[in-house]
């Protein structure tokens, strides 16, 4: 299993409590959009961000949050923050 | 920010304002009181011939003191003027222990769990005048100015 797939699986565990669309969740991939596909509300998106911070021991700012609209963008932001450490 | 200023900024009015007085406030938490006027019309229906303050109203009171009033204070710390506040309740999970009857005064105490990306999540507790725990739980909302 690649690192990327591991990260996607990790993200999948984080979003699980907040999703509304089971089908989109089952088929979660890089292109999955948190709000439009998974139907996560904006308040729970904050919880997703906080859980990501805890898991990777990083701190995300407003700019990062605005970028993290889908799985691919989230992975990019996480990788960038982790490499800054 | 003075207590009266915070109350004046609340986007509620009679019959849906459930904050009388704020007692203490800092970066970590807030406390305040409300006395349920026996004339509130929900007592006519909850329950028939047996008025008890509805749990949703207790939750609303806890939210108005513990999250919205607190949030106005925290937002004021950002230095931006507070003219219009956009708020939305996003979650509440409450446990109820004893009933609150008409004319009873309650004290709400709230502690911040986090305030990030405009979401304020708090642990709230409500006590009656005897100091007995009425209800407690977690309430969160999104707040923006």
Structure tokens at B83: 């003219």
- CATH-assigned architecture of domain B3-144: Roll (3.10)
How many structural domains are present in chain A? Answer: 1
Distance CA B86, CA B118 (A): 10
pLDDT of residue A2: 61
Alpha carbon separation from B105 to B15, B33, B115, B130 (Å, rounded) = 17, 7, 28, 10
Strand extents, DSSP E, A1-85: none
Residues of B in contact with A62 (CB under 8 A): 117
Which SS3 state, helix, strand or coil, does residue B78 take?
A: coil
B46 is an active site residue: yes
Q: Which residue has the tokens 């995300």?
A: A60
Distance CA B139, CA B120 (A): 8
Is A43's CB within 8 Å of B114's CB?
no
Tell me which H or E stretch contains A42: helix A42-56
Indicate which CATH number applies to the domain containing A17. Answer: 1.10.1200.10
Is A50's CB within 8 Å of B91's CB?
no
pTM of the model: 0.93
Is B119's CB within 8 Å of A43's CB?
yes
| Predicted confidence (pLDDT) per residue in B35-65, tens digit | 999 999 999 999 999 999 999 999 999 999 9
Say which residues have a Cβ less than 8 Å from residue B70's Cβ, sequence separation at least 6: B25, B29, B30, B110, B112, B120, B122
Identify the active-site residue in B10, B20, B33, B46.
Answer: B46
Nearest CA in chain A to B139: A43
Distance CA B24, CA A10 (A): 42
| Predicted confidence (pLDDT) per residue in B106-141, tens digit | 999 999 999 999 999 999 999 999 999 999 999 999
- DSSP letter at B89 equals E
Domain boundaries, chain B: 3-144
Residue ranges making up the domain that contains A72:
3-84
Residues of A in contact with B117 (CB under 8 A): 46, 49, 62, 65
């Amino acid at each position: 299993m690649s690192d990327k797939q591991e990260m996607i699986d990790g993200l999948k565990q984080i979003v699980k409590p907040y999703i509304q669309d089971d089908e989109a969740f089952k088929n979660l991939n890089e292109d999955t959009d948190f709000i439009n596909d998974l139907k996560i509300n904006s308040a729970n998106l904050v919880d997703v961000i906080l859980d990501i911070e805890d898991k990777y021991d990083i701190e995300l700012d407003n700019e990062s949050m605005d970028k993290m609209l889908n799985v691919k963008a989230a992975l990019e932001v996480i990788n960038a923050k982790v490499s800054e450490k | 920010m003075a207590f009266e200023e915070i109350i004046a900024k609340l986007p509620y009015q009679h019959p849906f304002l459930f904050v009388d007085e704020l007692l203490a406030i800092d970066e970590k938490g807030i406390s305040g009181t409300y006395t349920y006027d026996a004339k509130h019309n929900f007592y006519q229906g909850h329950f028939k011939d047996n008025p008890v303050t509805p749990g949703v109203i207790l939750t609303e009171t806890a939210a108005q003191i513990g999250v919205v009033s607190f949030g106005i204070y925290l937002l004021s710390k950002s230095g931006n003027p507070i003219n219009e506040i956009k708020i939305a309740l996003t979650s509440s999970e409450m446990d109820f222990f004893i009933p609150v009857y008409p004319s009873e005064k309650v004290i709400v105490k709230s502690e911040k769990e986090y305030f990030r990306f405009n979401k304020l999540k708090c642990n709230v507790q409500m006590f009656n005048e005897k100091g007995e725990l009425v209800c407690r739980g977690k309430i969160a909302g999104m707040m923006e100015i």
